[in-house]
Structure 1
């Protein structure tokens, strides 16, 4: 089974190693989707939604929301945001019955990336 939890945050960035409009300072309302793969435990859950929400809010959203992402990630592309999110969540969500499966980062309604670890 795949458990899914969505989040949203607003942030600014500029892509310093890119030549085009996005090298200028701009912002997005990002959508972050965290997916865990696993089997229900003795309580019938892969992972408690409330606990997952708290972990993602503490480890990711509290750092990214209304932030200048270049202060956190040197080249904050959607790809690098997804890899950062994976690296900073994996150890907190992997359990005997489940593990981090996939991270999606959407910069706009039509443009995003999916990362499944290395």
Structure 2
């Protein structure tokens, strides 16, 4: 079973290792989707939505919202942001009955990435 929670945050970035308009400073209203895979516990929940919200806010939203993401990671593409989010949440969401399954980072309404913890070398600091 998959539990899903969606978040939004506003942030600015520029892609220094990119040739095109995105190398200039600009911003997005990002959509972040966190997917947890698991089985319901004795309370009938994979993880409490409120608890998931609190963890994601503390570990991710409070850091990225209204930030200049280049000060947090190198080359802050949607791909690198997804890896960074995964690293911040993976251990916090590891339980006997569930684990982090997927991170989605959407830069625009129709452009985003999905990351499921695959090992990718050299993607973020």
TM-score, L = length of structure 1: 0.99
For the residues of structure 2 that align with 1:17 and 1:102, how far apart are their CA atoms?
Answer: 26
Residue in structure 2 matched with residue 47 of structure 1 by the alignment: 47
Residue in structure 1 matched with residue 109 of structure 2 by the alignment: 109
Alpha-carbon deviation of 1:81? 0.3
Alpha-carbon deviation of 1:82? 0.2
For the residues of structure 2 that align with 1:10 and 1:26, how far apart are their CA atoms?
Answer: 11
For the residues of structure 2 that align with 1:102 and 1:74, how far apart are their CA atoms?
Answer: 22
For the residues of structure 2 that align with 1:67 and 1:24, how far apart are their CA atoms?
Answer: 16
Residue in structure 2 matched with residue 58 of structure 1 by the alignment: 58
Count of equivalent residues: 118
Regions of 4+ moved over 4 Å = none
Is structure 2 residue 15 aligned with structure 1 residue 15? yes
Summarize deviations over 1:16-37 as a string: whole Å, max 9, x none. Answer: 0000000000000000000000
Q: CA RMSD in A?
A: 0.3
Specify every segment of 5 or more residues in structure 2 that has no aligned partner in the other structure, as ranges: 119-125
For the residues of structure 2 that align with 1:86 and 1:12, how far apart are their CA atoms?
Answer: 20
Bigger share in helix: 1
For the residues of structure 2 that align with 1:75 and 1:69, how far apart are their CA atoms?
Answer: 9
Q: 3-state DSSP class of the match of 1:31?
A: strand
For the residues of structure 2 that align with 1:50 and 1:94, how far apart are their CA atoms?
Answer: 16
Residue in structure 1 matched with residue 93 of structure 2 by the alignment: 93
For the residues of structure 2 that align with 1:75 and 1:51, how far apart are their CA atoms?
Answer: 31
Alpha-carbon deviation of 1:46? 0.2
TM-score, L = length of structure 2: 0.94
For the residues of structure 2 that align with 1:60 and 1:41, how far apart are their CA atoms?
Answer: 26
